[in-house]
Amino acid sequence: MTVREARLPAFRRTRLLAGIVAGLLAVTLVPATPAFAATIDTDVAYTGPFLLPSRRPVTLSAVLTAGGLPLPGRTLSFALDVGGPNETCTGVTDSTGKATCTIARIGTAAQNTNIVIRYAGDATYRPGALFVGAIIYAYVPGGGYVVSDLAVGPLNGASGRSVTLYSPDWRSANPLSGGVPAGFFRGWQTSDSEPRCGGSWKVYEKDLTSPSFGLPEYLIVAVSDLVKTSIRTDAQGNQILNVQGEIPHVVIVRPDPGFLGEPDGTATATIAAVLC
């Protein structure tokens, strides 16, 4: 049996070849989407607080620039590296390159952390990221501790200094520039609000001893220069001793281990930072 080569007629081969060429030309004439590679570096600078209150909202901020110029309209994300999914937020940069956002509540316990700021980048600007060390500190609801201004010393050198938060002999460890306090004050106060600079604190005689609980890793503490004692009479005619003081400064301390609120115990700490 003879095998013959099957060939298209010449006019059909010509038309097929012309069709293929036309198809190739059609493909090559479709403009391709150019793939741009980001070529400009970005810088992220943190401008928010480094001392973060536990169980409270906190507002964070940062500035995004490229070549020293602000980048408006870009999204920055903020997160705590020890936090959960709710301890994140995002903000869009304004005309100065600054983005601000608020974490509704820091639920993480008092400890060291990093604030992580990220810019995802785009077709022109490269991604940027920054890790900033911070401290999450706690406030004890219903009270807190007091240290003296002379025990803290000059604020610019206060970090790392040891102080006594609570002791039956508190006044020996906490000399005051405004005078000698009453000997029965042990360093515990029962104000309802977190200490703030320019504020005040008080405690009544029946509440002079510290409650029994362990201390968090970082704690906010009032600094006083004067402790005053007064006596008031209640509706039943009983005389009640009242101790109070002003708060010119506030520090964050890291309590030493071992104190569990014993009435006759001693609580010491190291100053970690000056809040105000």
For 207-228, write each residue's pLDDT tens digit: 878 776 788 999 999 999 998 8
Question: pLDDT (tens digit, 9 = 90+) per residue, 72-114?
Answer: 999 999 999 887 777 899 999 999 999 999 999 998 889 999 9
Sheet of 144-148, strands arranged across: 162-166, 267-274, 249-255, 219-224, 144-148, 188-189
CA distance 100 to 33: 35
Under 8 Å between Cβ of 266 and 258: no
Tokens 């200490």: give the residue. Answer: 195
CATH for 43-137, among 3.50.50.100, 3.40.50.2000, 2.60.40.10, 3.30.1950.10? 2.60.40.10
What's the N-to-C CA distance of the chain in angstroms? Answer: 105
Question: pLDDT (tens digit, 9 = 90+) per residue, 169-198?
Answer: 999 999 999 987 777 889 999 987 889 999
CA distance 63 to 272: 27
Inform me whether the pLDDT recorded for 26 exceeds 80.
no
Two tokens, residue 3: 């095998």
What are residue 204's phi and psi, to 5 degrees?
-95, 160
Count Cβ neighbours within 10 Å for each residue of 93-115 and write b for 16 or more, e otherwise.
beeebbbbbebeebebebeebeb
For the residues of 60-85, what is the DSSP string, one character each?
A: EEEEEEETTEE-TT-EEEEEETT--T
- Cα atoms found within 13 Å of the Cα of residue 66, Cβ hemisphere only: 17
Percent of the chain with pLDDT over 70: 86
Q: What is the DSSP letter of 205?
A: G
Two tokens, residue 51: 């001392």
Q: Residues 6 or more apart from 53 whose CB is under 8 A from it?
A: 106, 136, 137, 138, 139, 194, 220
Percent of the chain with pLDDT over 90: 61
Spell out the domain ranges in the chain: 43-137, 144-274
pLDDT grade, residue 64 (50/70/90)? Answer: very high
Inform me whether the pLDDT recorded for 33 exceeds 90.
no
Two tokens, residue 226: 């004067």
